[in-house]
Structure 1
């Protein structure tokens, strides 16, 4: 690795004092919200466009795409006594208690009453052990260590398949913080779902054991809407090629290869979205400034993209992948989670070449890096990875001893005060160096057979089917 390049050294030197990533994060977190399809997300698109243009990215443009716009509305959640419980002090008779809850994205409107059933962590095995027919299922947001992480959409899908009429997603992080998170991708879910705090979860597990019933009312709505992606290019001869009348550049196989660096800029409407994913888009914008300073040193074009609607279905990434000639994409770098904590984490998604490259960058610059080689489908790399494009997700590792899960993410506590500007700068530098090296590398494609085998090894297949994200082409 040519880490003694004077142009690179100058670009990295300037990055130590670059306040633009922090300024972008600040402008985004000042918005009322950045929920997919909302006026706030549209404003965030403009802010991101300005940031990429100021970074020196060429031909920055905004592309609109259709989506299903979900509105959260109001939620009422109460625990009631059981008709069958005795009145000797041990049963649930006489309970009539309301708790704070928030609807989960793509929850339908509904009014459900049924037995309250605790399914623990919501793993498939735990759901199989209880009777959920007509019930309101309660599942924790985390998964025990030593087991693969079970995503919210999988827990929901298994609960619905087992007969649940409603789903309660209970935070494992204290602080009276009901969590949010989509139940489906870009479509209304089958039954209502809500998030409740850890403190509420403590009561619900007890009430479920005592045979209580619960009632859940949600008035959320889903309607046709639109969102946007913002992207531009730097480096490579094709970055300056003219567009045709349809707004697309004619492809030249000799010069039109590219590396895509992307991050989502949307966030849930209950918080500032500083960690998820204000840090990610700020890190990507900081990397863009460095790459612009190294334009003549890039061996192929780099596309920098801020994508919308990740939180409700990877919709912006899907739209970007659909309009891109994926045969021309050498690799995708998805910045989702970088910039949050001190040490960078690289998820190489079954690509040994990308894992080795991340190691090389970390070694060359004396930075620790945490590895995870296993693929997953729950971030913006997925529309590219499932088509065989080598993809790496840049995340960051929480302090030692931290619990599994999102932490402050997807709650009202996801605020700017949790962010250290130094992490944004340093992760932007590492991201830029990684992308620069990728323009000199041609990682092998990731085959569908290899991905399928890796998902089977992780026992992901039933969960992906339950979450409705298993590719139909894979059978």
Structure 2
């Protein structure tokens, strides 16, 4: 490795303290003790204050909180019931940016909700029921794509049925920062089984959502470590979470990893400055990272490291988003430390690296994998602190610091070529889904 945290210049006392540091757990505890951290809420604002204090305590310089406007969605009461052939209520939760309103219509099972499955059945004027998972062997199809496909085909309502057992209705945004075109709810895996049976029997259901979308405010928290240089590396994590759970896995762990990594980096002899960004509103549209990208001179950004999902499970995953150079960095750090880092090269547009990647900035998204397909406990009320092993948070923080320092040293990774990136997304069969979710960049035509 060539960075200012390599074997020749690393402060081993800093890494030794990180090995036993209890501050990441205390930060995670503070975040998860809040009522919730939903975008634009008082809880999200309290979380911003908490992470700003944590950055200052980690030795990060120039910590500031930068507000931005957004559309705040608030969940009120939701009623859901099968009405034919029997009247039977089920527990359900509205999905963020579902409009308020009621609809009663026949049910239709669209399987995993892939474009091919939606095309195979008549969804016009019906309520589409889709699983939270996707078929083995292909890429993961996001909820926003499934909803977009169903609505484009004429569905008047959408039911997102969990594939994880335990009476856990899932949540998740339908659009980015705007109300969707149809009412939508999440239901448990157990309820989904009933709904598929009712759909096969010609059943119908009623969805009644009470929700509110109005102007609101969120904020990003910024700081920096290392020298004041014209070029910099960005280190990000989102601190917001959905309002139905503690948000420990998504993304309290990531926040704890970033703050712990920042503490290590503050003691390193870095050749470039590193800007730290704890961003809001990821769960409702990557709004904080979009704001950060819009307000940053991206020509000065060597690379971005987005920590979304690191610290949850044992082994680190480095998603390199079509950058060979960042893949090489991950492999180099893994080899030098003897810690496995799984490299996944394919890009996707569903986390905070996306506002930078689509503008050509090389990226790493740091994640960790349970081995299960889909989100697991994420986006359900089971996303709680007891699922976290603090040893994973500490180790991933050390690896994150080394990855950032490695990107700050040596040659700058090449920029991503827009045409090549668009073609990569087409090859991965993303275009139709991204257009359905209104995510395909206008510049890609």
TM-score band, normalised by shorter chain? over 0.9
1:64 to 52, 58, 67: 67
1:358 paired residue number: 330
2:430 paired residue number: 460
Residue 5 of structure 1: how far off its partner (Å) = 2.7
In structure 2, how many angstroms separate the alpha carbons of the residues matched to 1:369 and 1:300? 24
2:402 paired residue number: 433
1:169 aligns with 2:160: yes
1:31 to 18, 30, 34: 34
1:267 aligns with 2:241: yes
In structure 2, how many angstroms separate the alpha carbons of the residues matched to 1:332 and 1:428? 16
Q: Give the stretch that moved more between structures: 7-16 or 140-149.
A: 7-16
3-state SS, counterpart of residue 148 of structure 2: helix
Alignment of structure 1 residues 14-413 onto 2, 5 Å: 14-81=17-84, 92=85, 95-236=86-227, 238=228, 255-294=229-268, 297-399=269-371, 402=372, 404-413=373-382
1:415 paired residue number: 384
Counterpart contact for 1:79–1:213, Cα < 8 Å: yes
In structure 2, how many angstroms separate the alpha carbons of the residues matched to 1:377 and 1:428? 24
3-state SS, counterpart of residue 77 of structure 1: strand
3-state SS, counterpart of residue 424 of structure 2: helix
Residue 6 of structure 1: how far off its partner (Å) = 5.2
Residue 206 of structure 1: how far off its partner (Å) = 0.3
**Of the two, which has the highest radius of gyration?**
1
The TM-score, its normalising length taken from structure 2, stands at 0.98
3-state SS, counterpart of residue 392 of structure 2: helix
3-state SS, counterpart of residue 76 of structure 2: coil
In structure 1, how many angstroms separate the alpha carbons of the residues matched to 2:128 and 2:264? 49
In structure 1, how many angstroms separate the alpha carbons of the residues matched to 2:157 and 2:100? 11
* Dislocated runs of 4+, deviation >4 Å: none
3-state SS, counterpart of residue 280 of structure 1: helix
3-state SS, counterpart of residue 224 of structure 2: strand
Residue 13 of structure 1: how far off its partner (Å) = 1.3
Q: Deviations over 1:273-331 (max 9, x none)?
A: 0000000011001100000111xx10111001100000000000011111100000000
Residue 10 of structure 1: how far off its partner (Å) = 2.2
Residue 473 of structure 1: how far off its partner (Å) = 1.5
Counterpart contact for 1:370–1:397, Cα < 8 Å: no
In structure 1, how many angstroms separate the alpha carbons of the residues matched to 2:314 and 2:352? 22
3-state SS, counterpart of residue 219 of structure 2: strand
Residue 463 of structure 1: how far off its partner (Å) = 0.5
3-state SS, counterpart of residue 214 of structure 2: strand
Residue 7 of structure 1: how far off its partner (Å) = 3.3
Residue 4 of structure 1: how far off its partner (Å) = 2.0
Q: Give the stretch that moved more between structures: 1-10 or 49-58.
A: 1-10
3-state SS, counterpart of residue 56 of structure 1: coil
What are the ranges of 5 or more consecutive residues in structure 1 without an aligned counterpart?
Answer: 82-91, 239-254
Residue 117 of structure 1: how far off its partner (Å) = 0.4
Residue 147 of structure 1: how far off its partner (Å) = 1.2
> How has the CA–CA distance of structure 1 residues 472 and 6 changed in structure 2, closer, same or farther, with 3 Å as cutoff?
closer
In structure 1, how many angstroms separate the alpha carbons of the residues matched to 2:88 and 2:123? 22
1:9 aligns with 2:29: no
The TM-score, its normalising length taken from structure 1, stands at 0.92
3-state SS, counterpart of residue 199 of structure 2: helix
Q: Give the stretch that moved more between structures: 31-40 or 369-378.
A: 369-378
